[in-house]
């Protein structure tokens, strides 16, 4: 499995909005510039994030995007799955009926365990932690909070 460019850009967008504060409207051009996201692509990603209930698209001259959920309540999993859909590592996990061997296949349970671990790992990290430069293993390298 590989995280798509769209998913990476969605994470950048939410992170930028989180740094600016829940409820603050931030212009699309500003987000695109500082987070290095192509403007047209950002518009498409924002629509998906809005559909997921994470952001609001504000129209008008002073429009842009607004974070609807506090950064503490948005996990990396929420952002990833808002763009990519629910994470599945194999068709047999997503559609068990597609494989007649799922019930007896020794690899099937490993795919399911790996999927669960990945989803749990992404679910443990919220955007408040990311704003502070923290991963689930402590401060990120180069973070101003390093060395606690």
Judge whether 148 lies within some domain.
no
| pTM (predicted TM-score) | 0.80
Element (H, E) at 105: none
Judge whether 38 lies within some domain.
yes
Judge whether 17 lies within some domain.
yes
Judge whether 61 lies within some domain.
yes
Judge whether 146 lies within some domain.
no
Q: Note down the domain range covering 50.
A: 1-85+126-134
* 45 Cβ contact partners less than 8 Å away, ≥ 6 residues apart: 6, 9, 10, 13, 37, 83
Domain containing residue 4: CATH number? 1.10.10.10
Q: What is the pLDDT of residue 106?
A: 74
- In eight-state DSSP terms, residue 142 is T
Judge whether 115 lies within some domain.
no
Ordered per-residue pLDDT tens for the chain, 148 residues: 678 999 999 999 999 999 988 889 999 999 999 999 999 999 999 999 999 999 999 998 888 999 999 999 999 999 999 999 888 776 655 556 666 665 666 777 787 888 899 999 999 999 999 988 755 444 444 444 333 3
* Three-class secondary structure assignment of 61-92: CCCEEEECCCHHHCEHHHHHHHHHCCCCCCHH
Judge whether 142 lies within some domain.
no
> Which among 111, 64, 73, 70 is positioned nearest to 92, based on CA atoms?
111
pLDDT digits (tens, 9 = 90+) for 71-98: 999 999 999 999 998 887 766 555 566 6
Judge whether 145 lies within some domain.
no
**How many folded domains does the chain comprise?**
1
């Amino acid at each position: 499995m590989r995280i798509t460019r769209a998913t990476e850009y969605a994470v950048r967008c939410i992170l930028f909005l989180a740094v600016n504060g829940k409820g603050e409207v931030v212009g699309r051009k500003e987000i695109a510039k500082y987070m290095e996201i192509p403007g047209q692509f950002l518009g498409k990603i924002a629509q998906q994030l809005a559909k997921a209930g994470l952001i609001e698209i504000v129209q008008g001259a002073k429009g842009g995007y607004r974070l609807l959920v506090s950064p503490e309540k948005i996990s990396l999993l929420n952002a990833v799955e808002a763009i990519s859909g629910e994470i599945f590592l194999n068709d047999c996990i997503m559609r068990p009926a597609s494989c007649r061997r799922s019930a007896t296949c020794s690899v099937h349970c490993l795919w399911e365990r790996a999927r669960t671990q990945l989803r749990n790992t992404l679910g443990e990290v919220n955007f408040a932690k990311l704003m502070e430069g923290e991963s689930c293993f402590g401060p990120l390298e180069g973070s101003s909070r390093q060395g606690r």
